Structure 1
């Protein structure tokens, strides 16, 4: 089964779609939970999302592609509800004026009187031979414990194609103050699907790819003093999202190769 086949089926089996003829069951699925998660009632996550957003020393800044706002499987709104220090910017590039947090870093680099050398920033994106990226654990181990206070984590939310476009468009701005970090990945191996992982909501393009929510969770495990606990809480919510979504998928068999 191809990437497009699996993704299309997932979209078709969502809790509701715009093309369905409405029945009483459809009307129920269209109801939005008013308890806090703002998701369809039959995939409500209110019992999983922390009542009090988790506080972190890390400031998370997520650039979300405009198309992702319309995706029913998006994890970013849930990340925002789970984490206290999380800022979402909808757009196609980061630039001066996008975020006060990033602007302070950008201008601080050029103003030694205002720049705080302890405050550092990283952006998550796999590297290439021409543009290498340092593995996030390796980057973290190069710092002492004091230097991890007030780190800014920048994440790009979109399809792989859109994420690359957003990252490259943002480079002239963020490269002034942020280091490119990554998790281990393999571009030569296909990514997983919801059928073989309890953390994947849709087909990933290659091994090592993950949802924005999982990426933030894995990064906070490395960056935060109590990162293991924070990661576990976020992963628990993500697993619940995947489990609920899986209820709306039909079991399919891969196409036979000719």
Structure 2
């Protein structure tokens, strides 16, 4: 908590929490709106933090009810952040993106102020966001629009592919550092990972936005630190409610046990 901030007076109410799949869980009526057992109010900013970067998140429909989604928390942390529910971006999805699309169509030489955050592919490589920022002719330019895709790795790839005909007209594909040759981490070996990641460098939407804002915003380091601090607490609380992983018995051992039983009854 920063100096000058007042302590929150938390009240709690009985409310059905849809993400958990059960009804009647006590949910915090404070800033975070999460179940009491995983309340983040003491870590959250009292007011959403302002950014010059506008963040547009395409939120896969399946993620709306996922209890480990970081998007609901991110929306409460950042003022200039909006979410769109769907599987692809197209003209008509967002007034902000429609405006960028129309401007780019009328003037193809216009410098792109929009980026979409996703690892590159052979057919469409990406540039690391800090390199993209350094390559801009007008180094003082701000008011970027950053587009992020929120879903499982499989869903996110499908969302990006379906959105490319629209996005390619006005947005540049950027990424954070990643390595497809390295296995991704999980909640048991990282304080920032909520779900198993497919390869090294993959991260939650909240962490990805935090890392990108560090590069894009004048006060990026402070924004990153605040968001990462909240995410760490979110992961810590979730880890407290997980059972230790039990090693699965080897199939060979089961087969041997089955043979022994057969011999005994013979």
Q: Structure with the greater relative contact order (CA < 8 A, sep ≥ 6): 1 or 2?
A: 1
Partner residue of 1:108 out of 99, 103, 123: 103
- SS of residue paired to 2:55: strand
TM-score by length of 1: 0.85
Partner residue of 1:122 out of 96, 100, 115: 115
Which is strand-richer, 1 or 2? 2
TM-score by length of 2: 0.82
1:83 lines up with 2:78 in the alignment: yes
Partner residue of 2:65 out of 54, 67, 70: 70
Give the structure with higher Rg (CA): 2
Unaligned runs of 5+ in 1: 1-15
Unaligned runs of 5+ in 2: 1-18, 253-266
Structure 1 outlier segments of 4+, above 4 Å: 115-119, 253-258
**1:130, 1:18 → 2: CA distance?**
41
**2:176, 2:229 → 1: CA distance?**
20
1:234 lines up with 2:227 in the alignment: yes
**1:218, 1:233 → 2: CA distance?**
11
Contact map agreement 1:43 1:244 (CA 8 A) in 2: yes
**Equivalent in the alignment of 1:93:** 88
Name the CA shift for 1:70/1:132 in 2 (closer, same or farther; >3 Å): same
Partner residue of 1:172 out of 165, 174, 186: 165
**Equivalent in the alignment of 1:184:** 177
**2:245, 2:42 → 1: CA distance?**
30
**2:235, 2:76 → 1: CA distance?**
17
- SS of residue paired to 1:156: strand
1:145 lines up with 2:145 in the alignment: no
Deviation, structure 1 residue 117: 4.5
**2:218, 2:177 → 1: CA distance?**
22
**2:159, 2:55 → 1: CA distance?**
17
Deviation, structure 1 residue 134: 0.7
Larger deviation, residues 135-144 vs 82-91:
135-144
**1:203, 1:111 → 2: CA distance?**
43
Partner residue of 2:49 out of 47, 50, 54: 54
Contact map agreement 2:88 2:159 (CA 8 A) in 1: yes
- SS of residue paired to 2:183: coil
Deviation, structure 1 residue 111: 3.1
**1:217, 1:240 → 2: CA distance?**
15
